[in-house]
Homo-oligomer: A and B are copies of this chain.
Amino acid sequence: MTDEEDAPSVALGAGREFDAIRSMLRVWGPRAHGIGDDAAVIDVPAGDRLVASTDASVEGVHFRRDWLAPREIGARAAAAALSDLAAMAAAPLGMLLALGVSPGWRDELDELARGVGEAAERAGCPILGGNVSAAAELSLTLTALGSTPRPLGRNGLRAGDVLYVTGALGGPGAALGALRAGGTPRALHRARFAAPAPRIAEARWLADAGARAGIDVSDGVVADAGHLAAASGVHIVLEPAALPCIEGATPELAATSGEEYELLVGFSSRALPDVRAFERRFGIALTAVGRASEGSGVVVERDGARVDPLPGHDHLS
């Protein structure tokens, strides 16, 4: 392993697996480095803790081939993994890609790799290694490695804290609804579905501003608020009327739309973030959407009345 070695010059042995890897390395160019050993070698900044997450995107479960271009599938899978680093307010160190390749996808590996590489580059995250295997269906399992001196967990919410969400919700849900109905999503919604942006810089800003707990919105903001509530041992009230909705989405859709990769973070009511400074800096909204109190679980209040929490989506079904 030589960390500064450029990908195209990596020496690998013979075999079709290695041909596929060589081709992807050509696509990645300098975005990939250090590949060619049994494992990647990474230097974690002194004083930082390592943050690591693995996330799978499986054809037919997380995406459908007729809905997304191969490049988008690659970028989306990488964005989803990188979003776990954002949820912890960590700076990316590198990614590992395990590809399961079915016969019908062999000719698309370079385009998948291009998408992964573009998402990695946008996040400033090098690609440090991976694995290619035959499989019955396409899957991309991305492991994202990052670091920070103070990881932002799910368990730091306290009664009285105020919850904020970044961006505008509902786009991926609206796009999925249109696609499932055989229609064509609005471009605005499709972009949120096909090319999500992990909120890495935003997360670090929010952590520096004093966020006490955070999660990325992958299961839907109500379901993810439930994860925060469970981990922190608090009750959360969300106000759908307050949810920032993308143009064309209802509050109901914004409440359940998954794979948003926006952030849901909590602040002490005595140290709220400077919303206008955030919005000026990142060009997306930061909106107070609820509050934590003593107790457990999440309730959604609509017109002052409690309604049952709306379900998020469940991948194992």
Contacts and interface: CB of A to CB of B under 8 A. Distances in A.
A124 B261 CA distance: 34
A216 interface: yes
Contact of A316 (B39, B96, B101): B101
Given A41-B50, A61-B135, A90-B39, A15 B155 contact: no
A202 interface: no
Chain A, interface SS category? mixed
Interface residues of A, number: 79
Contacts of A55: 98, 131
A134 B223 CA distance: 19
Interface in A271-317: 312, 314-317
Nearest to A86: B38
A78 to B, nearest CB: 14
A54 B136 contact: no
Interface string A51-86: 111111010111000000000000000000001110
A20 B314 CA distance: 12
A16 B317 contact: yes
A220 B151 CA distance: 42
Nearest to A139: B100
A7 B12 CA distance: 40
A230 interface: yes
B226 A11 contact: no
Contacts of A43: 49-50
B50 A44 contact: yes
A179 interface: no
A145 interface: yes
A2 B233 CA distance: 14
A141 interface: yes
Given A227-B12, A231-B11, A139 B128 contact: no
Given A52-B96, A134-B316, A226 B14 contact: yes
Given A39-B53, A58-B133, A58-B135, 4 more contacts: A36-B155, A61-B134, A133-B139, A135-B137
